[in-house]
C-alpha cells in the first residue's frame, strides 16, 4: 500500500508544486482577517466557488494553525466516495458502461480497468462501442491483447447499441464476471450523443432490467470547471454512478476534484495519475488528501 501511496504522491506532484504551494503561501502570509489571497488561490486551482467558500469559512473561524484547518476541510470534502473494491459487483456479468467526452481518457480507462479485473482473476470482456473512431477500437484491441481479455467489436460506423447488445450476449454465454462497454464521446453524425447513450442503455436492458449495473463518467482533470459542467450534463441525461478523474498528473489545477465532490456529490472511484496501468488508482479520500497536502 505504501508503494501505491508513493505513486499517488508522485502523480500529484504538479498539482502540489503549484496549486498547493500557492495555498500555503496564501495561508502563511495572511496574518489578519483578509483571506482574499487564499480565495484567489483556490479559484485558480479550480476548487469552485462552493467548495472555496466552505474552506474559507472554516479557515476564518480557526484560531490556531490555519493550514491544518485547511487540510482537515479538504479531507472532509473528499469524504463520501464509495470503495471500488469487489463487494460492489452485483450479478454475473457485472456491466460497466463508460461514458464521457472524447479526449477524457475513456478508452484508456476501459483498457486499464479490464487489465485490473483480469489480473484479479475476473473473466472480463471489452465491448468496443465507440464505433465512430477507428483509433478507439484499435486502442482497445491493444489493451485486450496485453491483458488477455476478449473484445467484442464490429466494423467502424456500426450501430453502437448493437455492439453493446452482442457483447452482453457473449458475456452471459461465456459466464464472464465483468463486461466493460466503451462508448463514443462525440458522434460524426447529426445524432445526439446523449440519445445514443440512452439507446445503448435501453438495448442492454433487453437482456435484463438490471443492466448496466454501473455507469462511470470519465473526466479529464485538466479541463477544470468544464469537467463539473460535463458531470452535470451526463448525470441529467443518462445517470452516473461514479467518476473516474484522469490526467491529474498533467494539471496544476487539481482542486477540481473538490469542486466535483462538493457540487455534484458523485463518488470519485478512480483517479488517473499517469500512463501506466498501475497509474489508475482506487480513490481513497484519506490517501488523496495526505498525498496532496502533506
For 126, list phi and psi in degrees, rounded to 5: -105, 140
pLDDT at 187: 67
- Assess if residue 103 is contained within a domain: yes
Dist. CA 269–CA 266, nearest whole Å:
9
- Assess if residue 37 is contained within a domain: no
Residues lower than pLDDT 50 in the chain = 32, 82-87
Dist. CA 259–CA 253, nearest whole Å:
11
Domain total in the chain? 1
| Residue 195 buriedness (CB in 10 A; 0-12 / 13-18 / 19+) | exposed
- What is the b/e burial string over 147-163, where b = at least 16 CB atoms within 10 angstroms of the residue's CB? bebbbbbbeeebebbeb
- Assess if residue 17 is contained within a domain: no
Contact 192, 210 (CB under 8 A): no
pTM for the predicted model, two decimal places: 0.90
pLDDT at 80: 63
Contact 124, 148 (CB under 8 A): no
- Assess if residue 266 is contained within a domain: yes
Residue 191, Cβ neighbours under 10 Å: how many? 13
Contact 110, 294 (CB under 8 A): no
Grid cell locating 182 = 466503451
Dist. CA 46–CA 223, nearest whole Å:
9
| Residue 277 buriedness (CB in 10 A; 0-12 / 13-18 / 19+) | middle
- Assess if residue 34 is contained within a domain: no
Instruction: Give me the residue label for grid cell 505513486.
Output: 7
Strand, helix or coil at 93? coil
Grid cell locating 244 = 473516474
Dist. CA 208–CA 265, nearest whole Å:
28
Dist. CA 226–CA 222, nearest whole Å:
9
Dist. CA 47–CA 34, nearest whole Å:
19
CATH at residue 265: 3.40.50.300
- Assess if residue 21 is contained within a domain: no
Dist. CA 162–CA 139, nearest whole Å:
20
- Strand (E) positions, 136-202? 150-152, 178-183
Grid cell locating 230 = 460535463
Dist. CA 115–CA 99, nearest whole Å:
18
- Assess if residue 252 is contained within a domain: yes
Range of the domain at 159: 86-293
- Assess if residue 281 is contained within a domain: yes
The answer to whether the peptide bond before residue 208 is cis (omega within 30 degrees of 0) is: no
Amino acid at each position: 500500500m505504501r508503494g501505491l501511496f508513493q505513486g499517488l504522491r508522485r502523480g500529484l506532484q504538479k498539482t502540489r508544486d503549484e496549486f498547493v504551494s500557492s495555498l500555503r503561501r496564501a495561508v502563511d502570509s495572511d496574518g489578519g482577517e483578509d483571506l482574499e489571497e487564499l480565495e484567489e488561490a483556490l479559484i485558480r486551482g479550480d476548487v469552485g466557488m462552493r467548495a472555496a467558500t466552505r474552506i474559507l469559512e472554516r479557515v476564518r473561524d480557526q484560531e490556531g494553525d490555519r493550514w491544518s484547518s485547511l487540510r482537515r476541510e479538504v479531507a472532509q470534502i473528499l469524504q463520501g466516495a464509495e470503495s471500488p473494491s469487489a463487494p460492489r459487483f452485483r450479478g454475473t456479468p457485472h456491466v460497466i458502461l463508460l461514458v464521457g467526452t472524447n479526449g477524457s481518457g475513456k478508452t484508456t480507462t476501459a483498457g486499464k480497468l479490464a487489465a485490473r479485473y483480469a489480473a484479479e482473476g475476473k473473466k472480463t470482456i471489452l465491448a468496443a462501442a465507440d464505433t465512430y473512431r477507428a483509433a478507439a477500437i484499435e486502442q482497445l484491441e491493444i489493451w485486450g491483447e496485453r491483458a488477455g481479455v476478449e473484445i467484442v467489436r464490429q466494423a467502424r460506423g456500426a450501430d453502437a447499441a448493437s455492439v453493446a447488445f452482442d457483447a452482453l450476449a457473449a458475456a452471459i454465454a461465456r459466464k464472464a464476471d465483468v463486461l466493460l462497454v466503451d462508448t463514443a464521446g462525440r458522434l460524426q453524425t447529426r445524432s445526439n450523443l446523449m440519445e445514443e447513450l440512452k439507446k445503448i442503455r435501453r438495448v442492454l436492458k433487453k437482456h435484463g432490467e438490471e443492466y448496466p449495473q454501473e455507469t462511470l463518467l470519465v473526466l479529464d482533470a485538466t479541463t477544470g470547471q468544464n469537467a463539473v459542467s460535463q458531470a452535470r450534463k451526463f448525470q441529467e441525461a443518462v445517470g452516473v454512478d461514479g467518476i473516474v478523474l484522469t490526467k491529474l498528473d498533467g494539471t496544476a489545477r487539481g482542486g477540481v476534484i473538490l469542486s466535483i465532490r462538493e457540487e455534484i456529490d458523485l463518488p470519485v472511484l478512480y483517479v488517473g495519475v499517469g500512463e501506466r496501468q498501475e497509474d489508475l488508482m482506487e480513490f481513497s479520500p484519506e490517501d488523496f488528501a495526505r498525498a496532496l497536502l502533506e
